[in-house]
Structure 1
């Protein structure tokens, strides 16, 4: 039969029925999306027309959401008789496969899966009066009789079956006398994992309270019933409670699944192609701050935050949404996305959006109970500097486009992403909208059982699920959160910001027309303001001024010591310096290069250049000639000192200078390969020096080990920190710069009290020092790199009274900018934090839009105040990019990643240019390195990328496997290195930092480290893995996900192995707990109930598999 096309009036009536009477004013080309049509309403339209015999799909309607477009779709569909859905013969008692979302739920119940050990279920309490337990129990019995999925069991092979009959579970009735008992029932029920393998898919309890009140507890596992099915169940329960009888349903869930797949095959194929083209460019999930897995306590605990928007507030929000061509659901989704962006530091990420995907394949499908859900991965992109309304429109468009391709579920896309990235990929942040579906609990349910007063849902592999539903004519906005996965207080701050934004959107038109501002909570802003309240006396001295003043006062005081007996007094060194100055023939403000080996002459040259009023420019003696030429050219050098001539006449006095003039220009490596010359004024460097000297009481009795190269800014404090205080510099000469044994002897022999260096050099010193040689140290200052948490204790073992501090900063901010004196290493430290700003210094941590990041959220560190350099020599463009004005203050954008702790402490997270992507996933190498260094036997770790793998190198007494196993306990799976190289020591650069290029030489881009399976069991496992995963071979250590595995393929592998090994002890849990053939074999052997049986069966299997046809014929003969 050919169907008649609906008239224009029919079409308009259908649309106005969904969108309201105002939609009668629609023009033919008006966007229905902008009039409030969302994906749920779209599904309702498609289903309504299918029921009238018109074959249209959700995707077709989503592509052209206008009256004119739909008229064309209907014209094409009405001219052809719809293909009838072939009746499928289904054995209702036979096992049948899990639907996609069911399978994801089932896998997620397992304790070995990431964010697993949780059932997908919805628990609700209804506060009523006088509920009769006898009538309720009878109603529950009728409910089980009517709905087959309430008699379902879920087997450990990944299939389900519906039992023809099931003994009705007894209704649990509690007589409650106090609130504590009610809390106990709630605590047990709201986080239960029902025994679905034995058919326990729901649980209904009744508590009788004082004064005749009752509390109905309803818990349903979503393996058996999705949220809309939950509503069907409660509506039926209410009817049966009032005496109605369960009429039979002429359709079933297994039949629905069997008929749906062939009917949507073409849509599925098209959608699959669309998504797979986008796999390489899809972002990751929002990386919210998390507590390490081994510190989470009960990681399954879910708590709820909620806000009910009253009917009037709902109307106001909907009206403003409509004015901007938006649906209320997408307005709330955008507010959620903005909140996630603020707390993840990411403008782009994936949001998991469930879809209610119950297709009208049969007139009675709406009466069924089962899981009909799908999902869409929404690519959120808030990168543009746009108003909230424009961001919401863009997000709505992306949601609309994604929903048009929802035939290929988000679960399937995640599996594709896992195969592409070689590791399991999750989308654990969810946004669920049930708007346009009506009230969650209908009037009869509320009349008979009371109002819903407690609701919580759980989901496996979900960290945060935001939901918006219609309740009591208003909007109920919930967050269900795995509380212990997040730092204390973080979710409260997030929800408060989200709630505030949603409220403002309903009340303030201006909020829609501007970008969303920073979400920094007021209490955090106050803490940071207090940390940045560092105003103190501003330095008016020149860098060398203290030296020459002390030389006049105490000419015989020791200024320099080196080797066994080398020594210069202040007077002697001042004499040399002033002769150097006299012979330079330069003017104030000129630049003078210094290319001298480390030693007394180098120090005299530096002082002489400054005394002449010039700025010194270190050019290392080991610099390649071409780079040295570039430095001289960019710096505009008037002269270069390669030797020190002390025959010139003595300059009477140092030239009087301006503290704002440039003291030195240090060249650092640029990202383009062109060195950058940082111009540092006297005032900036002296601000750092005066703070540290005052803070640590540095004075004439101190001597500093000067091990840093002159072209590294820590040398500035080595020299001028001590000269400003009247102390002495203990010079490590050029020939000894890599000989830590010589340093230790210098410390011991020359009375060194202070060490200021990078952590790697201190590590070398501690390893080389003999007992007692470092006992005279009283201050250790470390900066320029990560400061490991082991170092304070190791220093204390050599020098018990020594003060220890980690410092943070950059060349562009005058040596050091922050300080953290360590009095004890806290358990949560991964490295010694940056701490708090020095005097007259301020810090910010900002996101990509320049907004202050909340506590625990990583962002770019900005440093402002007196320590900020003037800029880059002869490079105004780069200076303008990196040195910026904000709120009346000049800031340097460091390119370092940092985050604030709640007490105002700054933690260094690594360089922004040390962020890498491995198979599309963003990884901060610094976070990996800090985690590796937590291993008690690892002194230092470096991470990098080789080929398409994350790799690492460590120095320590460990094995690669020990490092990887340790990393798994504190890092998410995608941040665990695939390979680890163990070295005696990590190679260092001339400045004492780890030489990443030299380390990379130990990694090879060749990632095939194939190791063949040895035992019979390993060979059987490898054979089945290879066949299912469709790869040529599988080694014992090849990671499951890197081979293209996913949860469905894992289920298939387990099914094949159970058959091959004749054992039910092979489980998906075993596979996910080990993820390699070798690990799986070892686990199976360790846990088998009959020792030796699996190995025997495996040998027999291999023998049979090796038989040829002629062998079989011979055996049979």
Structure 2
């Protein structure tokens, strides 16, 4: 495959120049000698220049950096006793807790490969994660059959808030300086796979350092920041929460298990702890904004959202309640390390939120099926080259680079690129606009889901003959849901959906279980005799949300009333007043005479086929009151 930069004449010149300059950075700066050594910074804060401030807040307890250092050292000493060598794999099977932070920091500083396990996953899935990763040790609160394990209750000191009473044992020097900032494997994260089984992505410290360094610099983060760890610890965005905050000497707020799924609790945590940085998927931000009083969120100076489509109306809400907060869109699959593309959302971003531009030392390409660079505005598949690339996938203990493909970017120069399932196009300003995903991959509340993985689990349920998983969006709430479209065997008339959901919990995490179910006589096929997923998605959308769609259409029509009523007022009112008419403008202050008020009533009545007389208008105090009257009459 070849991408010829010299023949991108079809493209906008500014985008062409951006591509060339980014490629020069990548070609000339592979070693990134000055990359942020975030683990060294953490060591300094813990062991060499201890900070006298709060590191973690959990369950209303403040854990100082001194206390954190003691607990991390306890875990490092335990790892030393087990004689684990650099590169050994340690699975951390813990929920949201300080113990997780102690464990992951200890492993990272020891140069051990750490693997966070999703505690909400079914037992069979967790067993696969451990087996495929060839783990040498499991850190857990309970014993793990068939694996060497350590129990956190036997390692970490209790009552850490009374730290003065704890052991004053010095940090073991042999436990330090064993990590590497190279591209060697540093940690594993699992994501949904197209083959029906989870993919284990192998990530490294160098790529992680690039994300942390660029983000700290661009977001102007300091030790005074307070960061919310709302993202689950097995999700890639949480890597930033933990390591960016600890490398800065900042404070990380960790919700308890009960608080983790409670938006009201998040709002309280933000207000009480004066959280300044929030990074999560859009669905979480939406939940927070839906329940929080604006006054509770005023400490937030930056909100970054990634992993899913960002709704424009959510941005409008944030702008209204937090006018001084910086807003960011983040993107990039797990294979490109935490986030590899971003965009600062400005007032000009009214109709669509861009995916953005690549972080430094990376470059995105939009290629068509012939592996040619797409023209501006032409939709194609996304590819990425650069520092943020992960090492590949781990399959049965061995590295596989499926979907990591060589691209010739110039004569004699070849780069490895990650081929994504994401589609997009380049806008004239050089920003990439997200345009969906290729069939087979879905995104629900920030979680990438392989349709094949869910379909294979469902096919174990014998009454089902055929099954296709699609995504649908509620027309009114804009919430994305996972939908199962299925047909039954000839002898089966119906199935028990609740029973089916219970069975699925043995194979799939909660995020992968469909919330909507729709039975069809048979699955439609394309002309090539393949299942027509697009048609099924259309059928599901229309059949599952007919009333909501009609209601949305009605509300869309009502939204146009505001502008039309405003235009009618400006047309009738004297010229010198017309430019000063707004929704909250008081009608009496416009100097409108009886004749003009009658003209306005007549025009509105004619436009919307309603009866709106002079007296109805005379009872309205503002232009918005008129709009409200027209909308009520149209609804009735």
Match of 1:557 in 2: 53
CA contact (8 A) 1:845 1:858 kept: yes
Structure 1 residue 747, shift from structure 2 partner? 0.5
Q: From the superposition, tell whether residues 539 and 689 of structure 1 become closer, same or farther in structure 2 (CA, over 3 Å).
A: farther
Match of 2:267 in 1: 744
Question: Following superposition of structure 1 onto structure 2, how do residues 316-715 of structure 1 map, counting pairs within 5 Å?
Answer: 520-524=8-12, 527-531=15-19, 533-534=21-22, 535=25, 540-551=35-46, 552-563=48-59, 565-584=60-79, 585=82, 586-643=84-141, 644=152, 645-646=155-156, 650-652=171-173, 653-660=175-182, 661-715=184-238
CA contact (8 A) 2:110 2:179 kept: no
Q: From the superposition, tell whether residues 696 and 517 of structure 1 become closer, same or farther in structure 2 (CA, over 3 Å).
A: closer
CA distance, structure 2, for counterparts of residue 838 and residue 747 of structure 1: 28
Q: CA RMSD in A?
A: 3.5
CA distance, structure 2, for counterparts of residue 640 and residue 876 of structure 1: 16
Question: Please, which of 379, 382, 399 is the counterpart of residue 861 of structure 1?
Answer: 382
CA distance, structure 1, for counterparts of residue 122 and residue 132 of structure 2: 16
CA distance, structure 2, for counterparts of residue 1006 and residue 532 of structure 1: 53
Task: Give per-residue Cα distances to partners, 1:9-40, cap 9 Å, x unaligned.
Answer: xxxxxxxxxxxxxxxxxxxxxxxxxxxxxxxx
CA contact (8 A) 2:35 2:213 kept: no
Match of 2:427 in 1: 901
CA distance, structure 1, for counterparts of residue 340 and residue 262 of structure 2: 29
Structure 1 residue 525, shift from structure 2 partner? 6.6
Structure 1 residue 515, shift from structure 2 partner? 14
Task: Give per-residue Cα distances to partners, 1:147-170, cap 9 Å, x unaligned.
Answer: xxxxxxxxxxxxxxxxxxxxxxxx
Structure 1 residue 828, shift from structure 2 partner? 4.0
Is 1:782 equivalent to 2:278 in the alignment?
no
Q: TM-score, normalised by structure 1?
A: 0.37
Task: Give per-residue Cα distances to partners, 1:771-799, cap 9 Å, x unaligned.
Answer: 31001100001111111112222222332
CA contact (8 A) 1:555 1:572 kept: no
Match of 2:516 in 1: 1000
Structure 1 residue 556, shift from structure 2 partner? 1.2
CA distance, structure 1, for counterparts of residue 362 and residue 510 of structure 2: 28
Question: Following superposition of structure 1 onto structure 2, how do residues 5-154 of structure 1 map, counting pairs within 5 Å?
Answer: none
Task: Give per-residue Cα distances to partners, 1:580-616, cap 9 Å, x unaligned.
Answer: 0110231111110000110111111101111221011
Is 1:727 equivalent to 2:250 in the alignment?
yes
The number of equivalent residue pairs is 440
Question: Please, which of 364, 370, 394 is the counterpart of residue 873 of structure 1?
Answer: 394
Match of 1:197 in 2: none
Task: Give per-residue Cα distances to partners, 1:665-723, cap 9 Å, x unaligned.
Answer: 00112122222111111000110111011001011111111011111001001111212
Question: Please, which of 852, 862, 869 is the counterpart of residue 373 of structure 2?
Answer: 852
Q: From the superposition, tell whether residues 890 and 738 of structure 1 become closer, same or farther in structure 2 (CA, over 3 Å).
A: same
Question: Please, which of 352, 358, 378 is the counterpart of residue 837 of structure 1?
Answer: 358
Structure 1 residue 910, shift from structure 2 partner? 2.2
Q: From the superposition, tell whether residues 651 and 849 of structure 1 become closer, same or farther in structure 2 (CA, over 3 Å).
A: farther
Structure 1 residue 847, shift from structure 2 partner? 1.9
Structure 1 residue 543, shift from structure 2 partner? 4.6
Is 1:770 equivalent to 2:258 in the alignment?
no
CA distance, structure 2, for counterparts of residue 543 and residue 895 of structure 1: 31
Q: TM-score, normalised by structure 2?
A: 0.63
Structure 1 residue 848, shift from structure 2 partner? 2.3
Q: From the superposition, tell whether residues 748 and 515 of structure 1 become closer, same or farther in structure 2 (CA, over 3 Å).
A: closer
CA contact (8 A) 2:224 2:250 kept: yes
Is 1:816 equivalent to 2:332 in the alignment?
no
Q: From the superposition, tell whether residues 770 and 842 of structure 1 become closer, same or farther in structure 2 (CA, over 3 Å).
A: same
CA distance, structure 2, for counterparts of residue 636 and residue 943 of structure 1: 32
CA distance, structure 1, for counterparts of residue 101 and residue 3 of structure 2: 54
Single out whichever of 651-660 and 862-871 deviates more from structure 2. Answer: 651-660
Q: From the superposition, tell whether residues 862 and 610 of structure 1 become closer, same or farther in structure 2 (CA, over 3 Å).
A: same
Match of 1:376 in 2: none
Secondary structure at 2:296's aligned position in 1? coil
Secondary structure at 2:234's aligned position in 1? coil
Question: Following superposition of structure 1 onto structure 2, how do residues 231-310 of structure 1 map, counting pairs within 5 Å?
Answer: none
Structure 1 residue 578, shift from structure 2 partner? 1.7
Task: Give per-residue Cα distances to partners, 1:44-95, cap 9 Å, x unaligned.
Answer: xxxxxxxxxxxxxxxxxxxxxxxxxxxxxxxxxxxxxxxxxxxxxxxxxxxx
Structure 1 residue 637, shift from structure 2 partner? 0.8
CA distance, structure 1, for counterparts of residue 377 and residue 470 of structure 2: 17
CA contact (8 A) 1:845 1:852 kept: yes
CA distance, structure 2, for counterparts of residue 588 and residue 541 of structure 1: 21
Q: From the superposition, tell whether residues 598 and 517 of structure 1 become closer, same or farther in structure 2 (CA, over 3 Å).
A: closer
CA contact (8 A) 2:301 2:326 kept: yes
CA distance, structure 1, for counterparts of residue 217 and residue 129 of structure 2: 35
Q: From the superposition, tell whether residues 802 and 790 of structure 1 become closer, same or farther in structure 2 (CA, over 3 Å).
A: same
CA distance, structure 1, for counterparts of residue 371 and residue 344 of structure 2: 30
CA distance, structure 2, for counterparts of residue 889 and residue 701 of structure 1: 40
- Structure 2: give runs of 5+ residues left out of the alignment: 142-151, 158-166, 409-413, 443-450, 452-468, 488-504, 523-545, 547-607, 610-636
Match of 2:502 in 1: none
Structure 1 residue 995, shift from structure 2 partner? 4.4
CA distance, structure 2, for counterparts of residue 532 and residue 940 of structure 1: 39
Q: From the superposition, tell whether residues 1006 and 759 of structure 1 become closer, same or farther in structure 2 (CA, over 3 Å).
A: farther
Secondary structure at 1:773's aligned position in 2? helix
CA distance, structure 1, for counterparts of residue 123 and residue 255 of structure 2: 25
CA contact (8 A) 1:789 1:825 kept: no
CA distance, structure 2, for counterparts of residue 788 and residue 996 of structure 1: 22
Is 1:718 equivalent to 2:228 in the alignment?
no
